[in-house]
Amino acid sequence: MSELESPVDDLLISEDQANNLTYFAFAKGNKAEPLLAPTKASIGALPDVLAGRYHLERLLGAGGMGAVYRARDLLHEQFGDPDPYIALKILSEEFAESPDASALLYSEFALTRRLRHDNVVRAHTFEVDTDCQRAFITMEYMRGLTLDKLLCERPMGLPWKELRDIVLPLLDTLAYAHRRGVLHGDLKPSNVMLSEDGLRLFDFGLGQAEEGTLPGLPHLSRERFNAWTPGYAAPELLEGQPLSASADVYGVACVIYELASGKHPFRRLPSTQARDEHLERELHAPKNLAKHGWTALQTALSFNPAERNITAAQLRDALGATSSWLQRLRLRA
């Protein structure tokens, strides 16, 4: 596995590349006008050291509201920590003075911190640099390969044994998050990493706590904020409905199908367009997927949330189950 790091100039995205990333939009009335992910101009100048402690080294990637850097924790380094590296996510320049954007960043920190699971990235701190007035969060620095990079290397998809070793932990993790009242909101291959320590689900920046979970978090109107990755967001999200566990299931089902076949189930089209063009009629069971899991995956890929009546835990059980003929064979033995 390769370490996900490149020189800053290589990872600062162009305007054209920004079109392929998650949109973050401020809605005006009933229409959302997407703002593109940060580019060289919008990230802005940052000091070499934030909060007197975190030395920025490399830009790892940019998203809808900010950027993620590899940083060196100078305090830990001073006390002899042999691995003082962290990941640091900071708001981009255009959002730096937005109280709502800072609240969303804190929400990401709080949601991630609530999930104490081996397959969820570990959040460390939420801080504000007083000199540049930028809010940021620090997290564990992961070394590994994201699933979108893996798919580039495996264009025909993964055989069932390899697929199972990724899909089952991913669904276990999502089911755990849902039990804890946390919705992810942006499940896609680039937000899942195969790290040195196993699978990691990260980037809860578009996530949300379910009703009654973390009641102290700021309640930002979902009418003002709309966020989506069109190829992985369920149709109801693109149409302005609130985030739900069912929408997460749709996103993870798209990821699973893509891992199994090497192709996105709906040609990477926005799900509303795929629905309107009836692309579900073209779906076929991927050859690499265990046959006993196809019905459940089809259900999870339903455009209609009323027909998507399966949870992450149920999808995991269906994919993890031993096929009936093999069960009978074992019983005979």
- Check which CATH number belongs to the domain holding 101 and give it: 3.30.200.20
Cα angle 152, 259, 162; round to 5: 100
Q: Give the C-alpha separation, 261 to 280, whole Å.
A: 15
User: Does residue 183 sit in helix, strand or coil?
Assistant: strand
Domain that holds residue 100: 8-140
The answer on 166 and 44 residing in a single domain is: no
The answer on 244 and 129 residing in a single domain is: no
pLDDT of amino acid 279: 98
Q: What is the pLDDT of residues 26-42, one digit of tens each?
A: 333 333 333 444 444 35
Place of tokens 């798919």: 151
The answer on 311 and 296 residing in a single domain is: yes
- At position 297, the amino acid (one-letter code) is L
- Would the CA dihedral through 206, 123, 57, 60 be positive or negative? negative
Residue 89 falls within a domain, yes or no?
A: yes
Evaluate whether 245 touches 251 at the Cβ level (below 8 Å): no
pLDDT of amino acid 21: 38
pLDDT at 1 over 80: no
136 conformational bin, left if phi > 0, alpha if psi -120 to 50, beta if neither: beta
The answer on 151 and 135 residing in a single domain is: no
Residue 132 falls within a domain, yes or no?
A: yes
Bridge partners (DSSP) listed for residue 148? none
Q: What is the pLDDT of residues 129-145, one digit of tens each?
A: 999 889 999 999 999 99
User: Does residue 104 sit in helix, strand or coil?
Assistant: helix
How many CA atoms within 13 Å lie on the side-chain side of 89? 29
The answer on 177 and 82 residing in a single domain is: no
Q: What is the pLDDT of residues 154-194, one digit of tens each?
A: 999 999 999 999 999 999 999 999 999 999 999 999 999 99
pLDDT above 70 covers a percentage of the chain that reads 80
Residue 210 falls within a domain, yes or no?
A: no
- DSSP sequence for 195-254: ETTEEEE---TT-EEPTTSSTTS----TTTEEEE-TTTS-HHHHTTPPP-HHHHHHHHHH
DSSP class of 120: B
pLDDT of amino acid 322: 60
